[in-house]
Amino acid sequence: MAGLAFLTKKDNDYYLNAYKADVYTPAYFFENENISVIEGDVLKTVGFLYMDIYNSPTSKPESYKINCAVKLSIPFRESRTERKKFKGTEEEDYKVFTVEKGSIIFADTLMAETGADAEVFMNYLLGGKLPEDLKYSQVPIFLNTAANMNGIKLGVPMTVVEAMCAEIARNPKDNFQSFRKVAGKTGSEVGYENVRIQDLPNLVSTFAGLAFEDINTAVSRGCVRGKNGLEETPSPFEAVIHC
């Protein structure tokens, strides 16, 4: 969070320099207390959030996006719910937490190493719930950062992590197509759709879907492929069977 003019660091805390900050956390984050939870007057949340910064009582807010690979503790004065659309996102419900000038906005940023934060990030990735305006190329970097900051070794080469992230990110207009094929043509790194890793076999090929766990979905999507003349991705299993 270095470089943000409205923050001042003192010891392990960050203080707010601006008149006021509204911190926006997606409402669905609170469905799991390991992701976001309110403890008294402190919000503890995984570090994917938005902030509206007010420099005076009458000024228009400046919006900032925070993507932090660890859990944040945010003391607040008051809270509310609001439906809002930020740049690059769809409109959705948020819980909003207000912090006043001179107050601590990010507390105790020197946290003990724990696998919990890395696990939360991994669950978000595999569950298809990462913010879709997080740059495509940054996803594996954030995963690796979350692991490193918490003393966790993934135990696999980064190329494997990158390949997994590349397949989970899909073309929002055609889930059968991975986003990397679109990004290569447009140069854009946002606008992809995250899918759950459980859904991936059915999107890659009909045979892979049948060999996984959801046969009904595999059959229906196979029919869609056949009807629309979509290209099938050959599965390694098919080559073994044909031999």
pLDDT (mean) for 18-38: 87
Cα 64–chain centre separation: 16
Longest CA–CA span in the chain (Å) reads: 73
Mean pLDDT over all residues of the chain?
Answer: 77
- Rounded Cα distance between 130 and 113, Å, is 22
**With bands split at pLDDT 50, 70 and 90, how would you rate the model's confidence at 55?**
very high
**pLDDT value at residue 84:** 93
**With bands split at pLDDT 50, 70 and 90, how would you rate the model's confidence at 137?**
confident
What does the DSSP 8-state code read for residue 181?
H
Does 10 score more than 70 pLDDT? Answer: yes
pLDDT (mean) for 154-182: 80
Does 185 score more than 60 pLDDT? Answer: yes
Q: Where does the chain show beta strands of DSSP type E?
A: 7-10, 13-16, 20-26, 36-39, 42-54, 62-75, 78-84, 92-100, 104-106, 169-171, 174-178, 193-194
**pLDDT value at residue 71:** 76
Residue ranges of the domains in the chain? 7-106, 136-242
Q: Which residues pair with 83 in a beta bridge?
A: 93
Tell me the whole-structure pTM to 2 decimals.
Answer: 0.61
**pLDDT value at residue 120:** 66
